[in-house]
Amino acid sequence: MKKFYSHGKLLLTGEYLVLDGSISLAVPSVFGQSLNVETSKNNTLQWISLNETNTIWFETEFDLQHRKLLKRNQDNSAISERLLQILKAAQHLNPEFLTDTKGYKITTSLEFPKNWGLGTSSTLINNIASWANVNPYQLLEASFGGSGYDIACAKANGSLTYQVLKNNKKSIKEITFNPPFKAHLYFVYLNQKQNSRDGIAQYRANTSDLSLIISRITDLTTEMIKCDSLSAFQSLMNEHEQLISGIIKQTPVKARLFNDFKGSIKSLGAWGGDFVMVASKDNPTPYFKTKGYEIILSYSEMVLNTK
């Protein structure tokens, strides 16, 4: 049996603008997804996906000889089609992939609820790319698209900066991001999943020149990495929120939902869902729980390699 594993992701700075060249700060999450490959005697590819409670949430089967779905139903047909697209893209990148006569049983296992937005898709893409021996960024481009920072996190063991260069090349640099105030950083789940593709489409609708803002977001990223003061870090978070708000014409999450909170709140990734980062002198758990937000993780509970 072969086993592949990828980490989840969080983009702490540069959401949206990472697509257009800003240097962004990204961190792999403690939580990830594994993919186990077992061979079988029948000429099919059986696929089972398990959630964080080890319960099957998706199941299908493909005919390897004809590359057609053997089993479809109304509940999982869209997922089956997307999975088939990814597998075919992997075959296109590596024509030797899945061409033997063996059958396979594939089991994927998530370590986090799939609605958390930590990278159900990116961890899958990276795992399939490792199995198929293909470039994960090319496989991402052929399937879901995006900047690729999530693939960088899937393969990383610590914090990194990520930048999309000309000709779609990537600059990925491992860094030390270990703020002395990390005990005052938290991640709060907003109780809803946000579709990043919808957020990107809204961002792309902006036709103004973003070069100065991209430069400033890059500067903010650098300053946040070097920051050693909670209050200074909060100021940088607040400025970042205002800059992105002006571009996508959305109200920052603190003003929209938590305007009485004594601390700073920053959206992560596509605005409107998933996790937000909270910087607070006092533990904010009681505040958010009274507001109906039960999932609050400390920085060390969420982020990989916080030594």
Pick the more confident residue, 103 or 127. 127
Q: Which pLDDT score, from 0 to 100, does residue 68 have? A: 63
pLDDT one-digit tens code per residue, 202-222: 777 776 788 999 999 999 999
The answer to whether residues 157 and 203 belong to one domain is: no
Q: Is the pLDDT of residue 52 over 90?
A: yes
Locate 237 and state its tokens.
């978070």
The answer to whether residues 156 and 228 belong to one domain is: no
Q: Which pLDDT score, from 0 to 100, does residue 70 have? A: 66
User: pTM for this structure?
Assistant: 0.93
Q: Is the pLDDT of residue 74 over 70?
A: no
The answer to whether residues 226 and 266 belong to one domain is: yes
Please give the Cα distance from 274 to 56 (Å, whole number). Answer: 23
Q: Which pLDDT score, from 0 to 100, does residue 145 have? A: 87
The answer to whether residues 42 and 162 belong to one domain is: yes
**Mean pLDDT computed over 164-171:** 91
**Mean pLDDT computed over 54-64:** 91
Last-in-domain residue among 174, 199, 219: 174
- Please, which residues have CB within 8 angstroms of residue 100's CB and are 6 or more apart in sequence? none
Q: Which pLDDT score, from 0 to 100, does residue 173 have? A: 97
Q: Which of 5-14, 82-91, 268-277 has the lowest mean pLDDT?
A: 268-277
Q: Give the pLDDT band (50/70/90) at residue 100.
A: confident
Q: Which pLDDT score, from 0 to 100, does residue 133 have? A: 98
Q: Is the pLDDT of residue 272 over 80?
A: no
The answer to whether residues 121 and 230 belong to one domain is: no
Domain harbouring 298, CATH code? 3.30.70.890
State the residue range of the domain holding 218.
182-302
